[in-house]
Amino acid sequence: MRKIAIEEHFTTSALAHYSLPAAALFDPPQWDAARRHLLDFTDVRLPQMDEFGIDMEVLSLTAPGIQAETDTALATKRAAQANDFLAEITGKHPTRFSGFAALALQDPDGAAAELERAVTQLGLRGALINGHTHGEYLDAEKFWPMWERAEALGVPVYLHPANSYDVWHNLRGHEELIGPMWSWGVETATHALRILFGGVFDRFPGATLVLGHMGEGLPGILWRLDSRWDFLDQRGIRLAKPRPSDYIRDNMMITTSGVCAHAPLLGSLLALGADHIMFATDYPLESNHDAVRFIETAPISETDRAKICHLNAERLLRL
C-alpha cells in the first residue's frame, strides 16, 4: 500500500546550530546518528524509504528551527533560505519528497508573504511551526495574517513541539520529563487549545491545524473537554460552535508520528474517524521500520488503512 509520511525532518549545515538545545535532551550517540541523518537525503534516507515501502516524505525543518532565532531580519532570511533549499530537494526528487515551509513568525506579515511564496512559487504544501516564537503563541492576534493566508491558500499549518518558553516548576528536579517523552506533548496540546479557545477557527473557519504524535493526547480527552467546558466559568469566551471537540474534529488533523502503538490509534479512530489521521514516522528520531510495521499490522479495515497511509495526505496536501 502506498505510504506518505508527513512529519519527516531535515536540517542544513547553516541551520543545524538551532537544534543544539534540543540535542542536549538526547543520548549523545543517538543524537550524533540523528544529526547525520537530518543532513542526508539520498545516502540513507531514500534507501530506507525503499527498504520499508515509504513512497514519499513530506519534509520539514527540525525543531526548534527558525522559531529559535532572536534577530528578526536574520530569521526572515534563514526561513527563505531553508525554503529555497527544500524546494531544490523536492525539485530533484518530486515523486519522493514534498515539503512544509519554515516561517519567521518574528515578523507575522513577512511570514504570511513567505508562506504564499513557498506555496505558489516553490510548490511547498503548507507550513510547519516549531512551537512558540519567543513565548508568543499562535492564538495571538498578531499572527492572524499567517492564518488568513493559510486559509486563503488552502494549506495546513503543522504545529510541531519544541521546548517550553520556561521550565515548569513541577519538572524541576525531574528534567528527564523535559522533551519528547512528556513535556513537549503537553506544551503542544496546550498551544493547540489556546488556538481553539482563542477563536482562531471562528475567525478562519477554513484553517487546518495538524498535530503529530497521535494528536498530542487530545483525542483521548474530547469528552472531558466538552463536559468541563459546560461546567466551568468560560471567562467571557464565546465560541461559535457548542463544543471544543467540534473544532478538533472540524479544524484539526493528527498524525501517527512517534506513536507506534495500536491502542492509541484505535482510540483516535473512535474519537475522530479515519478521515482525520495521517501516517508519519518522525524520521530520523523514530524508526521507519517500527512505524511501517505498526501501520501495516494495525487491526483496522483496509479502507481506513488506505486513508491513513496516503489518501488523507493526498487530499489535504493535494499530492
Catalytic residue ranges: 282
> In this structure, what is the dihedral angle of CA atoms 119, 278, 176, 10, given to the nearest 10 degrees?
-40
Place of cell 501517527: 256
Helices and strands per DSSP (H, E), number in the chain? 15, 8
- Beta bridge partner(s), residue 136: 133
Name the residue type at position 276: H
- Phi, psi for residue 280 in degrees, rounded to 5: -160, 160
> Sign of the C-alpha dihedral, residues 122, 216, 220, 138?
negative
| Residue 155 to residue 128: CA distance in whole angstroms | 11
How many degrees, rounded to 5, is the angle at CA 228 between CA 225 and CA 232? Answer: 135
